[in-house]
Amino acid sequence: MTVNQPNNTMKLIAKSSAFAPATVANLGCGFDVLGLAVHTPGDVVEATLYDEIGPVTITDVTGDGGVLPREAHLNTASVAVMALCKSVDFRQAISLVIYKQMPLGSGMGSSAASAVAAIAAVNALLPVPLPKESLVTFVMEAEQIACGAAHADNVAPSLLGGIVLIRSYHPLDFIKLPVPADLAVCIVHPALEVRTETSRAILRKQIALGVAIEQWGNLAGFVSGLYTNDYDLLRRSLVDVVAEPVRSPLIPNFTGIKQSAMDAGALGCSISGSGPAVFAITKGLEYAHKAAAAMIQAFADINVVAQSFVGLVNNEGARVLKIERF
Ligand code: HSE
């Protein structure tokens, strides 16, 4: 559906497209501060640059069932691009086509993936493209409109790849962490939708000191395990006592699903981002496939259809697919 055609007398001067991967935010112990990029799924955005001053528009969105906003100020892809263009005072008209290739409201960083793909595509067309690290802050503005919170734990890994720690939001400070070579991940997405806004609204605003101690001990343990390739430490540390206990009732039979992954050899299993997708990390791809199959079966046992994605960690993050200049 074409909803927002730029003025058709405008001459197009360049086109680009970019892919941005899905992400697993939180990784259990790191609510809002840890995230990991996967190879698939992800979104693709195509950007067209015109020879005149003009707005950022969305000309088409495919694969979203007509659900996503087409208005530039409401769509995460255009919001991120507008924030970038404003910051570098770039005023030429840009149109975007968004190819959604991942489920919405899944907990796999869908809104971030569109915004990251869009900003990566447009950045490649700028006279002087910014380094990827500088783009994180603009995509966070898009997350703010998507779910009311400018969290970076989907955005940063989708852009930069690998596993990213958000050490601080004010000021923004993030660190790309080392990833053990055999660390594999599976994501299982049940055919349910949970809005991030809803899943954030139910969280407790305050936590007890004892709970905080447990969580930051595990977070530090997890980060340490990444630096030392210590899979057993990763296993002991992937524990979430903050979000998982509150959010897991949104996922049918979460305890059974998680147990099935652990029985299949997973090092840890928790909710992917705000859910309802569930993820597990494993040592090696073979266990990731086994954990995925076990979770799919556990969902099937309660008549919930689910889809799985299995792979190693994507260390590259967003990538420009093509640039054409006319
Ligand atoms: N850290 C965010 C949350 C990620 O858990 O709400 C949302 O995908």
Are 35 and 165 in a shared domain? yes
pLDDT for position 3: 44
pTM exceeds 0.85, yes or no: yes
pLDDT for residue 5: 55
- Is 273 near ligand 1, meaning CB less than 6 Å away? yes
Closest CA to 169 of 143, 202, 131: 143
Instruction: Tell whether omega for the bond before 171 is within 30 degrees of 0, i.e. cis.
Output: yes
In a domain, 87, yes or no: yes
Best residue among 196, 203, 248 to mutate for probing ligand 1, ranked by most atoms within 8 Å of CB: 196
**Alpha carbon distance 29, 8 (integer Å):** 51
| Ligand 1 contact, 317 CB (< 6 A) | no
Quote the ligand 1 centre to 31 CA distance (angstroms).
7
Query: Does the beta carbon of 169 lie inside 6 Å of ligand 1?
Result: no
The pLDDT score that the predictor gives to residue 193 is: 81
One domain for residues 144 and 77: yes
Domain of residue 282 covers 183-312
Check residue 320 and give its pLDDT. Answer: 98
Ordered per-residue pLDDT tens for the chain, 326 residues: 344 556 667 899 999 999 999 999 999 999 999 999 999 999 999 999 999 999 999 999 999 999 999 999 999 999 999 999 999 999 999 999 999 999 998 999 999 999 999 999 999 999 999 999 999 999 999 988 887 778 999 999 999 999 999 999 999 999 999 999 999 999 999 998 888 888 899 999 999 999 999 999 999 999 999 999 999 999 999 999 999 999 999 999 999 999 999 999 999 999 999 999 999 999 999 999 999 999 999 999 999 999 999 999 999 999 999 999 99
Per-residue model confidence as pLDDT tens digits over 69-114: 999 999 999 999 999 999 999 999 999 999 999 999 899 999 999 9
**Atom of ligand 1 lying closest to residue 203 CA:** 6
Which atom number of ligand 1 is nearest to the Cα of residue 274? 5
Q: Is residue 19 located within the same domain as residue 158? A: yes
205 shares a domain with 108:
no
- 151 lies in the same domain as 61: yes
Of 315, 284, 240, the closest CA to residue 33 belongs to 240
The C-alpha angle with vertex 113 and arms to 107 and 118, in degrees rounded to 5, equals: 160
Residues with catalytic function: 143, 196
Query: Nearest 5 degrees, angle CA 253-CA 255-CA 259?
Result: 120
- Indicate if ligand 1 lies below 6 Å from the C-beta of 96: no
* 218 and 174 fall within a common domain: no
How many angstroms separate the Cα of 317 from the Cα of each of 158, 189, 215, 265, 306?
Answer: 5, 21, 27, 27, 25
- 272 CB less than 6 Å from ligand 1? no
